[in-house]
């Protein structure tokens, strides 16, 4: 089908109201299939003709005409099911149709269960592969460079989707200071909040200390740039969603060649959610950390950075790849501890040296005093001592005589 349908005024208005580029791209791939089906089954050929007929049908008292487009949508659903498509695929196509009518102001109305999608033969055999922590560890070891390891850990340990990870920029985090140096602590998770590209719902999570180690090595190899996309191709172009998926799939193919066909990168987000479940976090925190809309009035209350970081530390116990980071990070932390201990030892040694100096001075003064006493004892013989004592007594007698009044 040609792209002329995109020039239809109702389609233009629909896309303008949507605003989200990713959603528009998705709908652009699915809506032509609906148009092709309608052209074959009805006299209506363009989006404008569909909307005009919908407006006319809404004014009639004939229920069959009034529900004409609801019935066509249900028939379209049945047609998609007959092609043995997965439930998620059928739902996605129906969602596109409903969005077109809704944004145009002629919303479709269905009774409960009318659009329920029956599972295909593919859906009856569950083959979803949500990787375990042990499997993620193997993927981590099989990644060929720091970029791929960083992508894997950011997806798995933060819960952000590949769409949001592809949109991340270096300046979003403050990794690099003004001097072009790495500015992050050695063992500190970085809080990160962003509106999800898909839903515009705020997601609050953390980039783990383990992921940051790989990010640091990756950015160091690029000369610590201060701006630009966080993940780029080897030609320094933004990696994009497809590039991220391809990078991860390449790692999966090396680690699990027999299961590579079952892999879906989006399941790393499911694995992250399982880590939150294992940590037994409250539902409100889990919703915030994966970017789900919180229920009821709870959505009106903000969750602080400290609360998220505290909850993340509990969850990280079930998400960690090697306990406290890679070998480089362990050496870095050990070096810091060694430096800190050496500083304490140096301070204590300085105090000991000061005390020893004081003690040496006292010893010297004591030795000098002992020497003086020894000399005095040698010089002052008994006869000399007696003479000194008599002289002293004589002086005292003369003083007493001077003080007596003259007769």
The pLDDT of residue 379 is: 55
Range of the domain at 112: 3-124
Contact 115, 94 (CB under 8 A): yes
Residue 406 lies in a domain: no
| CATH code of residue 291 | 1.10.443.10
Domain identity same for 166 and 268: yes
- Assigned token pair, 366: 């004591």
**Helix, strand, or coil here: 400?**
helix
- Residue-wise pLDDT for 230-247, tens only, equals 999 988 899 999 999 999
- Residue that is last in its domain, among 305, 325, 345: 325
Phi first, then psi, for residue 109 (nearest 5°) are -130, 125
Residue 53 lies in a domain: yes
Domain identity same for 306 and 179: yes
Domain identity same for 29 and 51: yes
- Assigned token pair, 103: 């944004």
Phi-psi region for residue 226, left (φ > 0), alpha (ψ -120 to 50) or beta?
A: alpha
- Residue that is last in its domain, among 63, 93, 124: 124
Residue 64 lies in a domain: yes
Domain identity same for 76 and 218: no
Residue 401 lies in a domain: no
Name 80's Cβ contacts closer than 8 Å, sequence gap at least 6: 89, 90, 93, 94
Domain identity same for 119 and 142: no
* Tally of domains in the chain: 3
Contact 213, 330 (CB under 8 A): no
Domain identity same for 102 and 176: no
Domain identity same for 116 and 14: yes
- Residue that is last in its domain, among 298, 325, 352: 325
Domain identity same for 292 and 185: yes
Phi first, then psi, for residue 285 (nearest 5°) are -70, -40
Domain identity same for 238 and 111: no
The pLDDT of residue 338 is: 75
Helix (H) or strand (E) holding 206: strand 202-207
How far apart (Å, rounded) are the C-alpha atoms in residues 190 and 271? Answer: 20
Long-range contacts: 113-119, Cβ < 8 Å, 24+?
114/70, 114/74, 115/73, 115/74, 115/77, 117/77, 117/81, 117/87, 117/90, 117/91, 118/81, 118/87, 119/87
Residue 367 lies in a domain: yes
Q: In the chain, which stretches have pLDDT less than 70?
A: 1-2, 122-127, 185-187, 296-300, 323-337, 339, 370-390, 393-394, 397, 404-407
The pLDDT of residue 165 is: 95
Residue 404 lies in a domain: no
Domain identity same for 372 and 258: no
How far apart (Å, rounded) are the C-alpha atoms in residues 295 and 283? Answer: 9
Residue 175 lies in a domain: yes
Domain identity same for 64 and 197: no
Helix (H) or strand (E) holding 194: strand 190-195
Domain identity same for 264 and 377: no
Residue 110 lies in a domain: yes
Q: What is the pTM of this model?
A: 0.61
């Amino acid at each position: 089908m040609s792209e002329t349908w995109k020039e239809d005024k109702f389609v233009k208005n629909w896309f303008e109201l949507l605003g989200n580029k990713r959603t528009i791209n998705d709908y652009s791939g699915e809506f032509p299939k609906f148009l092709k089906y309608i052209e074959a089954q009805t006299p209506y050929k363009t989006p404008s003709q569909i909307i005009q007929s919908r407006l006319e049908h809404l004014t009639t008292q004939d229920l069959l005409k009034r529900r004409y487009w609801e019935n066509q949508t249900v028939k379209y659903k049945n047609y998609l099911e007959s092609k043995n498509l997965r439930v998620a695929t059928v739902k996605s196509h129906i969602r596109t149709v409903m969005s077109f009518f809704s944004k145009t102001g002629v919303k479709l109305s269905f009774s409960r269960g009318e659009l329920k999608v029956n599972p295909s033969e593919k859906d009856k055999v569950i083959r979803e592969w949500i990787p375990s922590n042990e499997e993620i560890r193997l993927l981590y070891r099989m990644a060929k460079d720091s970029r791929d390891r960083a992508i894997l850990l950011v997806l798995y340990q933060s819960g952000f989707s590949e769409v949001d990870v592809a949109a991340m920029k270096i300046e979003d985090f403050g990794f690099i200071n003004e001097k072009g140096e790495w500015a992050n602590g050695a063992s500190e998770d970085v809080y990160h909040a962003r509106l999800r590209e898909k839903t515009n719902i705020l997601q609050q999570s953390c980039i783990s200390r383990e992921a940051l180690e790989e990010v640091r090595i990756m950015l160091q190899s690029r000369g610590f740039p201060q701006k630009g996309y966080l993940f780029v191709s080897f030609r320094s172009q933004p990696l994009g969603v497809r590039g991220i998926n391809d990078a991860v799939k390449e790692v999966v193919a090396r680690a699990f060649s027999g299961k590579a066909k079952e892999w879906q990168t989006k399941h790393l987000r499911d694995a992250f959610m399982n880590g939150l479940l294992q940590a037994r976090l409250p539902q409100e925190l889990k919703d915030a950390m994966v970017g789900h809309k919180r229920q009821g009035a709870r959505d009106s209350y903000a969750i602080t950075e400290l609360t998220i970081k505290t909850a993340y530390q509990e969850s990280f116990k079930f998400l960690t790849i090697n306990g406290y980071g890679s070998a480089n990070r362990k050496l870095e932390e050990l070096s810091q501890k060694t430096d800190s201990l050496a500083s304490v030892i140096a301070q204590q040694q300085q105090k000991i040296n000061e005390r020893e100096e004081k003690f040496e001075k006292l010893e010297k003064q004591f030795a000098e005093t002992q020497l003086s006493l020894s000399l005095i004892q040698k010089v002052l013989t008994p006869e000399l001592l007696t003479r000194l004592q008599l002289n002293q007594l004589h002086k005292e007698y003369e003083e007493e005589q001077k003080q007596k009044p003259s007769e």
